[in-house]
Structure formats: C-alpha cells, structure tokens
Structure 1
Amino acid sequence: MSESMRQSSAWVGATTKAFWQNPAFSVTMSPLPSLFAAWGEVTERTFEKVATKPSWGIDSVVSNDSDYPVSKKIELELPFCNLIHFTAERDRPVKRRVLLVAPMSGHYATLCRKTVASLLPNCDVYVTEWKNAREVPMSAGKFDVEDYTKYVVKMLKHLGENIHVIAVCQPVPLTLVATAMMAEDKEAAQPRTLTLIGGPVDPDANPTEVTDFGNRVTMGQLERSVITSVGFAFAGVGRKVYPGAVQLSSFIAMNPETHAKAFSDQISAVARGEASDLDKHNKFYDEYLAVMDMPAEFYLSTVDRVFKQREVARNVFKVDGKLVDISKITKTAVKIVEGGRDDISAPGQCLAALDLMPDLTDDMKESYLAPNAGHYGIFSGSAWRNDIRPAVLNFIDKHNDTPAEVKAKAAANSAEKPKAKIAAPASKADAAKTTKKA
C-alpha cells in the first residue's frame, strides 16, 4: 500500500509540474502557476527519492594539496551486507586501516558518506554497507542482533590484525559485544582501537524520547503495528520486515514542524528560481528520505534485548546461547564520543561502556564530549570535522603500533640514551665525597 501511495504521489507531483509549467500560463502575472509548478517539482522529487538508493559519490580526496582518485570495491560479500573498501590512490601508503561500522537503522550506509570522505586522506577505510532487506531472498535465512554481531566478528577476522574500528550510533553496543567475543577467543585480529560514537550502550543512563520508546510499547504491539511482509515486486518476497516507509513516517513525526517549514521554504525557493539540484535542502533530504526495509527479527530483537532488557548494559548478552563477557576486553583501546545536544543517544548512554571494562587500563580508555554537537554532527558535521576527527586520529596513532613494535621502539629509545658516567676521583677525599653523594 505504501509503495502504491508513493508512486501515485510522485505521479501527481510530476503531472502538476508539467501542467503548470505550460508556456500558456506565462501570460498571467499571477504567482500561482509558478507556485503550483514548484509544489509539483518538490513533491515528485521527494517521493522518487524514497525508493532511490543514494550513491556514495566519493570520486577523489584532497591530501597535502594533491587530488587523489578514490577506488571502491567489495571486499567481502555476505547475504545481508557488503564490506566495502575505499582507498585513495596516493603516492605513498598510509598506516591507518579503519573499519567503519555503519548503522542498520532505516537509512543506507551512505548516511556516513562525509565520515568516510573525511577519513580517506589519512586512512584506508572499510565500511559495512547493509542491504535493503526486501532485496534479500528468504533463502538467506533470518538476521537478528546475534547475526549482526557475528557479521562484525567475521569482518574483523577477514581484515586481520592492525585494524581500528569506528562504530556509529545503532551498532555501538553490538560492536562492543563483537570485540568482547574476539577478546574471549584470544583472536589475533582483535582491533587495536574501538571508537564508539553516540550509541545506546545503556539507554537508561540518560533516557531520551527515542531510547525510552521501548518502555512504552509491548513487543506484541510493535509486531502488529509496524511489521509486514515483502510483496511480490521484490527479491525478498515473503520476508518479514520493518518497512522503510513506516520508519520514515516515524522519523518525520519526531520533528514535524521543522520538516514542514523546510519543504515550504523549498517550494518558495523553486518558485523564485533560487533552488538548485544540489542546494542544502536537496543534499540533506535526498539522503534523509532514502530509506530501506529492516529485517523484522533484527528490529524486534534490538528493541527487546538492547533497550528493554538492557542486556549489553547489564553485561548479560548471549550469542548462540553463550554469555559474552565484555570485561574480557583488555587489549583494545576504547574511546567514547558523545554530543552534548544529542537527542537520540544522550550523553552517558555511550559512556556507560567504560564501566563494563574494569580490567582495561586507564591509558587505554578515553572519552570526548562535543558540547554543542547533535546526533548527526558528532560523525558528519562541523564538530566531527574540526574537533572529533582529529581527536580520533590521534587516538588511533597512539595505539597503532603492534606490541612487538612498541617493544622495539622502547629498546631503541633505551639504547639511544647515554649512560651516566662517574669521573674517577682525583683524591681519596674526592672519592669519599663521590661515594657519599652516590
């Protein structure tokens, strides 16, 4: 039904634009034809973007005043996710290798496009590109929070040693569990660093309207009201999903006045001829409106186990029936990043992760609070570019060496230090003084 409504609305917008842009209306001085045509143009674009997967659009990066082309390839293909590898064709290699765990929260991984682009001048970047559940055949099986966690572990093992992980928002608690699984199994590929950005490790640490949602509804209510089956038009026909269209209506309902004003202003700008294809409004909403279906079992298990039961916050999360002890993380340095104006995962929710790792030494724990940053700003806005990104790169550099390299550097530094020499005393009296001083 939502897909039929989307197509119908896009058609109405296109028809309205075509009708009111007829040259015959140019003879009138009334502003109505241009306003109606502008309404049609904005409406058509809006509803077309809902069903369009955004492109990454990262063709090159600038580093040291040089422009380097960027290549993108699928590093690892899994039923519900592709591990994408971005690399800039530089004249010299970089030491930093970063796995960016993007959210599976309704939007595509391209929501982190600016994050990836900002890291590429200094890092080779791998990104989890989660697939639209309606395009995944039923033969691929289920996908819940445990499967998500095992996917992250599988990617870490594939990438091997010397990898740094950055998790953004929704995957923060599950990436923390995945790192703990690697630590418990004493895997050589444990990440060097783990940067957790604005995620709900403990939703009750500082509840918000979003994180407290799970306490206001039952699982039965959720399943009946927002879960449906994929239709015959898609490869995942029959799969139970939380549809992107339903998610989008929830996103907009959080700030309806803001969105209404944004579209009203855009219609006026189009009517005046001041809008462009890549203006601020279109760049934001082309990404914001592009939503994908989530597997029903993933959405429901996230609400139940992460928010309602707080299994990660209480360190009782199990994978395949086996308890995962987060306190086993002792070799991975952990940095927490939060935004003071984050109204989705408020300050304190992500910071709670540090309390779950009592055996991790203080020199391997860091936290950063961007006081004026909102949820989006801490990984993609000016706060990220100007303050958080440099702090994260410094944190990565601090822990980028292998234990063997650390020992070698320490030995080299020790060898370079001149040994203290005691001059031979000129007399017995001087010798006595020297002995006394020693």
Structure 2
Amino acid sequence: MRYMATYDLMETVRNTNQWLGSSALAMGSYPAFAMFPNPALQWMAAWGEVTERTFSRMSMKPDWNIPPFPAADGQDHVVTVEKEIVRDFGDLLHFRVAGRTAKKRKVLLVAPMSGHYATLLRSTVISLLPDCDLYITDWHNARDIPVSAGKFDVEDYTLYLVEFMRHMGPDTHVIAVCQPAPLTLAATAYLAEEDPDAQPRSLTLIGGPVDPDAAPTDVTDFGHRVTMGQLEQSMIQRVGFKHAGVGRKVYPGLLQLASFVSMNGDTHKSAFKDQIARVARGEAHEHDKHNKFYDEYLSVMDMPAEFYLSTVDRIFKNREIAKNEFVVAGKQVDMGKITTVAVKTVEGSADDISAPGQCIAALDLCTGLPDSKKASHLEEGAGHYGIFAGKSWRNNIRPLVLDFIDANDGDPVEKPTKVRKAPKRSKAA
C-alpha cells in the first residue's frame, strides 16, 4: 500500500499542476479583463498555457500522425498503422502505404523500452517510409497491463523479438535503436541456433550499450554505484487504483522523466522560460519547435519493474551480453553462432548516453561472422538523439544504413564456391 500511495501521490501532483495551469489560462484570458489591459494577465495566461500543456502531455500516448508522402508516381500516399501481432506487453505494428505496389526493403525498427513510447522514433519512421516496407515494436505502458499478464523482463523482451522476426521472415532487415541493441543481438543469436531459417538478413545497431564498460558514462557509473536493493527501494512503485495494472510493480514514467530533466536541468528551465515569453508576445504556435519536441519528450510510460531491474543487473552490472553469457529461457545464447547475418553498428562521437565503443563491441562478439559482413560508422559531432533523428541521421547515417541493407539483400546463406584448378603446365615449359 505504501508504494501504491506514493504512485498515486505523484499522479496527483501532476494532475494538480495541470489544473493550476488550466485555471491560470482561463483567468488570464477572461474576456471582461480585456477592458483593462494589463501585462500581468498576459503573462498569467501564457504561464497557464505552457504549464497546462506540459503536465497534460505526461499522461498521454502521442499519436503517430504520419503525413502522406509523395512517391515516384506523383501521387501522395496515405500511411495507415496496422497491428500485425498483438501481445500483452507490446505489439508489432506495420505502416501500410496505400497504393504502393513496388517491393521495398522489409525493415523491422526495434524501439526502446526506456521510458518513452515508440512514437519517439516518429521522425525516423517518416524518413524510412519512402524507401522501406516498415514495421516497428510498440511497447505498452505497464500501468495499463493487468497483473494477471505476468512478468516481463529482458528474457521476455528477447523472446518477443524472436517471435516478431519469425513472423516477418528471413528477408527482413532489423534496425535496433539505443536500449534494445544488445537484446536484438541476443535475439538474432538465439534464432541462429534454434531456427536459422528465420534469421534476418542484416542487423543495424544504433547507439546501444552492448558493452557498457567499454566507454563509461554517467549512466553506467550510476549503474555500478547503486546496489540493486537501493534501486528497488528508491525507484520501484506499485501502480495505483486508477489504472488497469493496479498493484503491478513498475518504474514510473514520472520518476523517469524527473531523471531525464535533471540531467540537463538548466537547459530545460531556459527552454520553458523562453516559451512562456513567446506565448505572452504572441510569437508561439501549436506546432512550433518547442511544442514539437516537448510534446514527445514529456510523454512517458511506466516500465515493468522486472524489465528495468534485470536490465540494470544483467546488461549493465554483470555485462552478460558483453561477456557472451546471456541466458534466455534456460539456454545460453552464443553470439558466435551468428554466421550469415550482416551486422553494422552506428555511434555518435558526442553521445553521452551510449558513448562510442559501447555499441561497436557487438562486432567482436560475432566471432563466427566474416569481416566482410561487419561494418561500423562513427558520426562526428552527433549526440545520442542525433544518430537516429535530426540532420545527422537524415543526411549521413540513413543513406549509409540503406546502402548496407541493399548490399546484404540477397540470399544470406553462404554457398560454397567452386575452386578453379590451375591449368597444367606443359613439359616444355
């Protein structure tokens, strides 16, 4: 009950701030006050508008809002989001493009379960859709999942990926962004031994902590500094009575958001002060740069406690993936079994979440993979977000990833080559 009360208290604080912002906006915009112009009322309304929007976004799952895009036929093609596979903790979504007949690259985009919804990759999705038949993992908010659905940890996550890859077939190319990179590598290795014909043709790992100790950051230092007992006591709560997952242990989204914001507190403080000033001056609008970023950034989801704790314990503290000792469903997964799937890693030189060196470690683990099927790219000046969204992704990384997919789009099975015999030399020679 104590942890449920804490969860409900956090939600009450969020709801109260949303109400205060809405009230300030209504009072500052009261028509009768317009007869007596007062800058203080404008600032009250501006503060209220920004505050109400900010705290309301924390409890909302954003829509995909994928715009139609023009194709080679000169027509705008509408994109619909369809559920391909529905599971308790996450679905496999398919972005179906109306009227498209030409075969495109079949790509599975693995979204992180790290506090934000899969819509965090909206810009990545939009950039890939013209060139790919695109699928994505859509993880659910743990507070909406009944306790009767059971647990969900790193092994369950890996098995979900195995199921999704099997469903999509061997002509699939997988792109894993950030947190799921090591588990996607493990899922591929699992298939390599259990169901080789279901392996994807290529695997692109973007900014993921395959070996967190390869290049320590504040994130990895925190993982080593705090004990699992301390982590469970300070971070884990039970979902309150308002939600379908009442009683489920979670790492609350609001608590995660507080951690995100504290990492760059001064930057966020300045951003919101500037936005209030722009609203007061009438310079802000619904889809300005601030709102586009924070509408997504502030939308957080609860993470299953088992997943969060097992990630810290097994991926960061014990480095089971990095040491090739990861176990799934009682069976040790050997990354060396990957022999036909081409693997590419992408890192950003200014990434302070998964620093350069953490992701490229995947290539050393793939001991059974020939060098011709390994590739890596380090994007100079790019931070964590920039390597899968923004200018660095659009201009440099995306074209390289598509080229890598095309280069490995044939039959991945290595066929024996015929050895040509050298011609016999004549005796005269």
Normalized against structure 2, the TM-score is what?
0.93
Aligned partner of 1:47 in structure 2 is 55
Do the aligned partners of residues 436 and 271 (structure 1) sit closer, same or farther apart at CA in structure 2, a change above 3 Å counting?
Answer: farther
Aligned partner of 1:122 in structure 2 is 131
Which of 194, 209, 213 is the matching residue for 2:203? Answer: 194
Other structure's SS at 1:286 match: helix
Other structure's SS at 1:188 match: helix
Task: Write the distance in 2 (CA, Å) between the matches of 1:93 and 1:110.
Answer: 26
Which of 157, 162, 168 is the matching residue for 2:171? Answer: 162
Identity %: 60
Task: Write the distance in 2 (CA, Å) between the matches of 1:55 and 1:186.
Answer: 35
Which of 298, 308, 314 is the matching residue for 2:323? Answer: 314
Matched residue count: 414
Do the aligned partners of residues 366 and 21 (structure 1) sit closer, same or farther apart at CA in structure 2, a change above 3 Å counting?
Answer: same
Aligned partner of 1:174 in structure 2 is 183
Other structure's SS at 1:311 match: coil
**Maintained 8 Å contact 2:236/2:250:** yes
Shift in Å, 1:216: 1.1
Which of 22, 30, 41 is the matching residue for 1:14? Answer: 22
Aligned partner of 2:10 in structure 1 is 2
Aligned partner of 1:357 in structure 2 is 366
AA in 2 matched with 1:283 = K
Q: What are the Cα deviations for residues 192-242 of structure 1, in whole angstroms up to 9, with x where unaligned?
A: 000000000011111111222101101111111110111111111110000
Aligned partner of 1:35 in structure 2 is 43
Shift in Å, 1:24: 3.7
Other structure's SS at 1:210 match: helix
Residues 363-374 of structure 1: pairs in structure 2 closer than 5 A = 363-374=372-383
CA RMSD of aligned residues (A): 2.0
Is residue 88 of structure 2 the alignment partner of residue 69 of structure 1?
no
Shift in Å, 1:187: 2.3
Q: What are the Cα deviations for residues 337-371 of structure 1, in whole angstroms up to 9, with x where unaligned?
A: 01111110011100111110122111100001111
Other structure's SS at 1:45 match: helix
Unaligned runs of 5+ in 1: 412-434
Q: What are the Cα deviations for residues 309-364 of structure 1, in whole angstroms up to 9, with x where unaligned?
A: 11101111111221111111111000000111111001110011111012211110
Is residue 68 of structure 2 the alignment partner of residue 60 of structure 1?
yes
**Maintained 8 Å contact 1:17/1:40:** yes
Other structure's SS at 1:266 match: helix
**Maintained 8 Å contact 1:59/1:71:** no
Normalized against structure 1, the TM-score is what?
0.91
Other structure's SS at 2:77 match: strand
Is residue 293 of structure 2 the alignment partner of residue 284 of structure 1?
yes
AA in 1 matched with 2:118 = A
**Maintained 8 Å contact 1:61/1:88:** no
Is residue 240 of structure 2 the alignment partner of residue 240 of structure 1?
no
Task: Write the distance in 2 (CA, Å) between the matches of 1:200 and 1:62.
Answer: 37
**Maintained 8 Å contact 2:335/2:367:** no
Shift in Å, 1:186: 4.1
**Maintained 8 Å contact 1:94/1:122:** no
Is residue 349 of structure 2 the alignment partner of residue 340 of structure 1?
yes
Other structure's SS at 2:197 match: coil
Task: Write the distance in 1 (CA, Å) between the matches of 2:290 and 2:67.
Answer: 22
AA in 1 matched with 2:70 = V
Aligned partner of 1:215 in structure 2 is 224
Residues 373-392 of structure 1: pairs in structure 2 closer than 5 A = 373-392=382-401
Other structure's SS at 1:7 match: helix
Q: Which sits farther off after the overlay, 188-197 or 25-34? A: 25-34
AA in 1 matched with 2:10 = S
Other structure's SS at 2:198 match: coil
Unaligned runs of 5+ in 2: 1-8, 419-425
Task: Write the distance in 2 (CA, Å) between the matches of 1:384 and 1:403.
Answer: 27
Task: Write the distance in 1 (CA, Å) between the matches of 2:403 and 2:143.
Answer: 40
AA in 1 matched with 2:330 = G
Task: Write the distance in 1 (CA, Å) between the matches of 2:366 and 2:134.
Answer: 27
Is residue 28 of structure 2 the alignment partner of residue 26 of structure 1?
no
Is residue 340 of structure 2 the alignment partner of residue 331 of structure 1?
yes
Aligned partner of 1:422 in structure 2 is none
Shift in Å, 1:20: 1.4
Task: Write the distance in 2 (CA, Å) between the matches of 1:436 and 1:394.
Answer: 51
Do the aligned partners of residues 322 and 271 (structure 1) sit closer, same or farther apart at CA in structure 2, a change above 3 Å counting?
Answer: same
Task: Write the distance in 2 (CA, Å) between the matches of 1:91 and 1:7.
Answer: 44
Which of 76, 99, 118 is the matching residue for 1:109? Answer: 118
Aligned partner of 2:422 in structure 1 is none
